[in-house]
């Protein structure tokens, strides 16, 4: 007989009073073991996660409905493929200058103006051309066409890839101003520099 006493607001106690059974001579040990197991309390069974080694439900004899659903991870997919760099457009070759109509020989010719002057660099040659055009042809602002015409008149080499390049460099060095795009005007600093290169045929 089991007698239970309940306390309000507390715990319950169960008291085992008596056990009455008739057993054979050889079975008393089994009954004793069973009673001891009951007195220890319920056995806790730990469920193990299904092994991940099973590749398909059929391998364990279960159906697809019984298989645990796969979990889909919502991860952002990042494309790490490097973007192909855009090829740089080929730089267009500078336009070749043209010969323009300039009187090269009357009064002080360009050839006589150059004589005796130090024309040992491209920039000096450009300054000499611009000074002669200003002082003797009243051309204040020159283009690469003016310089090219002067070069050709006395057979100075013209194999310069960017013929306007020295004009831009001289402008950066403050020997020229640029009244408008493509035109360069020699200033008094440039004229004084040309005088220092020699008097020439003046």
Assigned domain for 58 exists? no
The domain spanning residue 163 has which CATH number?
1.10.10
Number of domains in the chain: 2
Q: Is the pLDDT of residue 168 over 60?
A: yes
Other C-beta atoms lying within 10 Å of the C-beta of residue 119: 20
Parent domain of 22: 2-37
The tens digit of pLDDT for each residue in 77-125 reads 455 555 666 777 776 777 889 999 999 999 999 999 999 999 999 999 9
- E strand or H helix that includes residue 185: strand 183-186
Whether residue 46 lies inside any domain: the answer is no
Number of Cβ atoms within 10 Å of the Cβ of 194: 23
């Amino acid at each position: 007989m089991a007698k239970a006493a309940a306390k309000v607001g507390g715990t319950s106690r169960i008291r085992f009073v008596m056990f009455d059974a008739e057993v054979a001579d050889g079975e008393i040990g089994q009954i004793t073991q069973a009673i001891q197991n009951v007195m220890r309390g319920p056995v806790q069974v730990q469920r193990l996660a299904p092994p991940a080694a099973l590749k398909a439900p059929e391998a364990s004899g279960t159906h697809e409905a019984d298989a645990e659903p796969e979990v889909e991870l919502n991860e952002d997919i990042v494309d790490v493929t490097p973007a192909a760099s855009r090829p740089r457009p080929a730089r267009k070759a500078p336009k070749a200058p043209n010969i323009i109509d300039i009187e090269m020989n009357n009064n002080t010719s360009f050839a006589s103006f150059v004589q005796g002057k130090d024309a040992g660099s491209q920039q000096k040659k450009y300054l000499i051309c611009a000074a002669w055009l200003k002082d003797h042809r009243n051309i204040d602002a020159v283009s690469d066409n003016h310089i090219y015409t002067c070069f050709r008149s006395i057979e100075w080499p013209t194999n310069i890839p960017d013929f306007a390049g020295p004009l831009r460099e001289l402008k950066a060095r403050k020997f020229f101003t640029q009244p408008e795009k493509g035109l360069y005007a020699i200033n008094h600093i440039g004229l004084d520099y040309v005088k220092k290169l020699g008097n020439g045929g003046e």
